[in-house]
């Protein structure tokens, strides 16, 4: 089972789980129907991202929405009290019941990610044990402020897009990180086409 111990930038440079790319430029204006519902309602209560007009402005709320989904799954959901068990000398914890099966977990992740990105994430970061989904009992994260990111479109076609995000660190830390984001249109709406553990 792969664990997220490598630097995110190294994983991004490898380009895992990328879809095809296009070369058509697109306008950076945001129409009134570009963002219909990407606000995070509450931890674990995120609604489906319904962005159908992808621009440098609408991609940032989509990435913030995707990060909220990643954080919720990465911490095991609403898992109190924590149920743990030992497997191959490591302590694991079960996910909360709302994402506690493989189907529930996949459906939740696919609110912001493509099927391939979600499947890679589930396969490499989670363990199905006695019919329940679990993960290594550890928390990982970074201090990047995606809600304050600025985006630059690298390419866009009718079904794929690539952006470069400049994401600042949390206050008190200087500088920013460049984050590459690949997207794909699924059933009329844009989804992140990179595994969450690689992106964040």
Classify residue 102 as exposed, middle or buried by CB count within 10 Å of its CB (0-12, 13-18, 19+): middle
Residues with Cβ < 8 Å from 134, sequence gap 6 or more?
Answer: 85, 87, 92, 93, 94, 95, 126, 127, 128
> Whole-angstrom Cα distance, residue 105 to residue 159?
25
| Residue 73 · residue 99 · CB < 8 Å | yes
Q: pLDDT band for 52, please (50, 70, 90 cuts).
A: confident
Return the pLDDT at 141. 65
What domain range includes position 38?
8-199
Cross-strand pairs, 127: 134
Rounded average pLDDT over 7-35: 33
Does 142 score more than 80 pLDDT? no
Higher pLDDT, 69 or 6: 69
The backbone torsions φ and ψ at residue 147, rounded to the nearest 5 degrees and listed phi first, read -65, -15
Task: Flag whether 3 is in a domain.
Answer: no
Q: Which of 45-54, 114-123, 133-142, 179-188 has the lowest mean pLDDT?
A: 45-54
The backbone torsions φ and ψ at residue 49, rounded to the nearest 5 degrees and listed phi first, read -70, 130
Q: Considering its fold, how many domains does the chain have in total?
A: 1
What CATH number is given to the structural domain containing 82? Answer: 3.10.450.420
Q: pLDDT band for 40, please (50, 70, 90 cuts).
A: very low
* CA quadruple 61, 63, 69, 75: dihedral, nearest 10: -120
Does 48 score more than 90 pLDDT? no
> Whole-angstrom Cα distance, residue 4 to residue 2?
7
Q: Which of 31-35, 104-108, 176-180 has the lowest mean pLDDT?
A: 31-35
pTM of the model as a whole: 0.74
Strand order in the sheet with 127-129: 84-87, 90-94, 132-136, 127-129
The backbone torsions φ and ψ at residue 193, rounded to the nearest 5 degrees and listed phi first, read -110, 35
Return the pLDDT at 121. 97
> Whole-angstrom Cα distance, residue 57 to residue 26?
12
Return the pLDDT at 33. 35
Does 87 score more than 70 pLDDT? yes
Sequence length of the chain is 200
Q: pLDDT band for 82, please (50, 70, 90 cuts).
A: confident
Rounded average pLDDT over 109-120: 96
Task: Flag whether 1 is in a domain.
Answer: no
Q: Which of 21-35, 57-71, 123-137, 183-197 has the lowest mean pLDDT?
A: 21-35
- Residue 46, SS3? coil
Q: What percent of the chain lies above the pLDDT cut of 90? A: 62
Rounded average pLDDT over 153-176: 92
- Residue 158, SS3? coil
Q: pLDDT band for 174, please (50, 70, 90 cuts).
A: confident
């Amino acid at each position: 089972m792969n664990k997220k111990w490598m630097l995110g930038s190294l994983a991004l440079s490898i380009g895992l789980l990328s879809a095809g790319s296009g070369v058509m430029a697109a306008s950076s204006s945001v129409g009134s129907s570009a963002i219909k519902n990407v606000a995070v309602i509450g931890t674990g209560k995120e609604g489906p991202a319904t962005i159908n007009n992808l621009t440098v402005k609408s991609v940032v709320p989509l990435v913030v929405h995707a990060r909220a989904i990643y954080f919720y799954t990465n911490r095991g959901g609403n898992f109190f009290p924590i149920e743990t068990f030992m497997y191959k000398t490591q302590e694991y914890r079960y996910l909360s019941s709302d994402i506690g099966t493989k189907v529930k977990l996949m459906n939740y992740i696919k609110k912001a990610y493509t099927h391939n990105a979600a499947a890679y994430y589930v396969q490499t970061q989670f363990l199905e044990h006695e019919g329940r989904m679990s993960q290594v009992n550890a928390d990982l994260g970074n201090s990047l402020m995606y809600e304050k990111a600025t985006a630059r479109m690298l390419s866009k076609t009718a079904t794929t897009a690539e952006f470069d995000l400049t994401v600042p660190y949390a206050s008190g830390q200087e500088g920013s990180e460049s984050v590459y984001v690949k997207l794909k249109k699924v059933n009329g709406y844009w989804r992140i086409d990179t595994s969450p553990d690689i992106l964040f």
